[in-house]
Amino acid sequence: GVHFAPGTYDQVEDPVLVEPFWDALDRAGLRTTVLDVPFFPVAESERTTMLVEWGCHDRYYGTSSWPPELVDRVDEVAGRHLIGTHDMGELTRFSPCDYVARSGEMRTRRENARLVELIADDIDRKTVASTWMLGHAAVDLFMSVYAETHCVGHQVWHIHDPRHPWHDPALHTEIGDPIREIYRRADRALGEHRSLLEPDATTYVILSHGMRRHHSVNFLLD
């Protein structure tokens, strides 16, 4: 996380003070595979396989993996995640979906439609990558994080919600409801993962804090 420095309002990064769960599992002799768990860099580990910031919402460390060759193998299997691996040059900490398919301050109707296409393609690409990793992992715990549902809520809620002041009924008619479509694909992804598990496997589905309209005055802080 970050906090504001008193007197300047500069953003200061807070160090991660908690140990990732996979380190504790490693010490216990358990094998773990994790895909796109946010805010943790890749670390060498004897029993943990990691792919980090491949299909992410928040990009802090860049796309990498352990073992190092894993990221190239996943790209061969699924194709490169188009949004999560987006590069902004000198900007090192950002949310890729804020910048993809956007040429100006606000996205045009065509850019909004293109972004929805990219998110839909990427969530299917994530499922190919994630199920491939699950199918090739003899592990005690497998964890995969889907950022696409979060990105679609942040970026195009106004297409979904007719009460939003930016809502464009014509665009909604043209491309449909992007929130529902991405959530449907996430549901299918969950089913595909479940089909690969042993009958006695335990599955946890962890959801984030949800989405709704948000009208912020953060711009006043400048």
Q: Encode pLDDT of 22-44 as tens digits.
A: 999 999 999 999 999 998 899 99
Task: Give residue 210's pLDDT band: very low, low, confident or very high (50, 70, 90).
Answer: confident
Position 208 scores a pLDDT of: 84
Percent of the chain with pLDDT over 70: 99
- The per-residue pLDDT for 9 is 82
Residues 52 and 59: their CA atoms lie apart, in Å, by 9
Q: pTM of the full predicted structure?
A: 0.91
User: Is the model more confident about 215 or about 145?
Assistant: 145
Smallest CA-to-CA distance from 155 within 182, 115, 105, 187 is with 115
d(CA 176, CA 169): 10
Q: What percent of the chain has pLDDT over 90?
A: 79
Assess whether pLDDT exceeds 90 at residue 180.
yes
Burial grade of 44 (CB within 10 A; 0-12, 13-18, 19 or more): exposed
